[in-house]
Amino acid sequence: MDAQLELLIMLHDVDHLLRESHQEEKELGFKMEESSEGLEKARKRIAKKLRRSVLERYELLLNRYGRSVAPVSKGICYGCYMALPTAMASGKAKNEKVISCPNCGRFLYWIGK
């Protein structure tokens, strides 16, 4: 897996954690620490390792869609639910470089199982 893509997935999952923690506490009663400072710091550490252009795009997509990375399964981008062009869907470069969906622009991650 491409190292930048790996970081993108980590950033995506961390952003999700930060967003969902409130819901977990309210709806499921999981006790949360008062501060999420540690996680914010971890987010910064991950973001810093991303290429500037990739990070800027990530933040842009996050603001636009609330989520910047979309899983791909069976040739479909699960960000916009459009089929990817055949050449891309069958490409050998899956997860070996940072690729964006030609339709919605989200970063793509080909999901295994």
DSSP 61-107: HHHHHS--EEEEETTEETTT-PBPPHHHHT-TTTTTS--B-TTT--E
Q: Which does 21 bind (CB under 5 to 8 A by kind): Zn ion, other proteins, none?
A: other proteins
Burial (CB count <10 Å: 0-12, 13-18, 19+), residue 36: middle
Looking at 4, 21, 100, 103, which residue binds other proteins (CB under 8 A)? Answer: 21
Piece of the chain touching other proteins by CB under 8 A; list 6-14, 53-61, 85-93, 96-104: 6-14
Looking at 65, 78, 89, 103, which residue binds other proteins (CB under 8 A)? Answer: 78
**How many chain residues interact with other proteins (CB under 8 A)?**
33
Positions in the binding site for Zn ion (CB under 5 A): 77, 79-80, 101, 103-104
